[in-house]
Amino acid sequence: MGHRCCTKQKVKRGLWSPEEDDKLLKHITEHGHGSWSSVPKLAGLQRCGKSCRLRWINYLRPDLKKGSFTAEEEQIIIDVHRILGNRWAQIAKHLPGRTDNEVKNFWNSCIKKKLLSQGLDPKTHNLLSLRQRASNKAACKHSSSSQSQQSAFTVFNVSSQARDANNTVMMNAPAVAFPNDQTMAVQIPSSEPQNPNASYAQNLNESTIYPYGSSLDTTFVSSSPPSSVHQLPGLGNMLYENPCIWDATAIFETFGEPRVEGLQPPQQQQQQQDKEKICETAEDKIDVDASLESDSFDLGLLESTLMSAAMYRDLSSMDDFGWNF
């Protein structure tokens, strides 16, 4: 069953031929699309208006960016998705030249697997619960009995290390796995130093979005929340029900570019190339525990998860994020 606009006439379906593309491109270039429902007739195409619109938006539009996603684009997708969820059209607006369809496909075929391989829930961006990790693990045909005896909180020492201005690794910080539907609180410093290198952050509304690339105290606190502690939507209520878990200070620099732990600047060019192989290697990393414990843990993703907490600051709603820039 087609769309209403397609029921009135015979319409062709399936892949577009070069001839059809030419007709549509020529018509829209000369006349604009106007009402999409009238485009097929005016352009001499046996397609429905929706199909023409989709073809134009996803393929023929002259401002489309061709080629694979860059590491920076990937990071933007992850960060915005964490806030907005599967609102692909909104996410795509942050990526000039990319379409919602493209972003959606990239997410489903690549990023989703990468997050899972890092032990992160693609929906919530939280670290997966032990149960989820276990089921994920089972699905991957790996098993380990040691996990079942862990406490409610699992602290992974992933050698998460902040970097100096040259991205040199400087410090260690633990990462905490929060069981599902739990709360994480993040203490935001009152001053918010700007980092001129955070190009993406500069595009954001910096009065409402905590800028990427700024120094950030990420402090997981105990029972009584100080005024500057912000509860994160969708993360539950466990924090205040538990005594102090840990307190760590992390300093993040130049957040825009995902990094691989321990890489020095000269190696980052290779890292960039390696990034393109992520999809190929994702399956190799599907063993969640192995990846969490291994040296190849993607610090960029972890930082991203923590940094996102700060991005909630002063947002009255998810929609604010989507509409403010």
The residue ranges that bind DNA (CB under 7 A) are 1-6, 12-16, 35-37, 47, 49-51, 53-55, 58-59, 68, 86-90, 100-102, 104-106, 108-110, 113, 279, 283
3 or 26: whose CB is closer to DNA?
A: 3
Written as six digits, the tokens of 21 are 């593309």
Q: For residue 294, how many other CB atoms are within 10 A of its CB?
A: 11
CA-to-CA separations, 162 to 14, 156, 159, 215, 302, in angstroms, rounded: 50, 16, 9, 10, 12
Residue partners of 281: CB distance under 8 A and separation at least 6: none
Q: How far is the CB of 93 from DNA (least distance, A)?
A: 8
Q: How far is the CB of 82 from DNA (least distance, A)?
A: 14
112 or 313: whose CB is closer to DNA?
A: 112
Classify residue 256 as left (phi > 0), alpha (psi -120 to 50) or beta: alpha
50 or 275: whose CB is closer to DNA?
A: 50
Q: How far is the CB of 7 from DNA (least distance, A)?
A: 9
Q: How far is the CB of 49 from DNA (least distance, A)?
A: 4
284 or 314: whose CB is closer to DNA?
A: 284
14 or 243: whose CB is closer to DNA?
A: 14
Q: How far is the CB of 101 from DNA (least distance, A)?
A: 5
Written as six digits, the tokens of 318 are 């998810």
Q: Which residue, 101, 102, 123, is CA-closest to 112?
A: 123
The number of residues in the chain equals 325
47 or 230: whose CB is closer to DNA?
A: 47
Residue 51 · residue 45 · CB < 8 Å: no
Amino acid symbol at 233: P
Please tell me the distance from the alpha carbon of residue 199 to that of residue 238, in angstroms, as a whole number.
35
75 or 117: whose CB is closer to DNA?
A: 117
Classify residue 188 as left (phi > 0), alpha (psi -120 to 50) or beta: beta
Q: How far is the CB of 22 from DNA (least distance, A)?
A: 13
Map residue 160 onto helix, strand or coil. strand
87 or 313: whose CB is closer to DNA?
A: 87
Q: How far is the CB of 85 from DNA (least distance, A)?
A: 8
Q: How far is the CB of 325 from DNA (least distance, A)?
A: 15
What's 56-102 look like in SS3? HHHHHCCCCCCCCCCHHHHHHHHHHHHHHCCCHHHHHCCCCCCCHHH
Residue 187 · residue 293 · CB < 8 Å: no
Residue 170's Cβ-count burial label (10 Å; 0-12, 13-18, 19+) is: exposed
Q: How far is the CB of 126 from DNA (least distance, A)?
A: 18
101 or 147: whose CB is closer to DNA?
A: 101
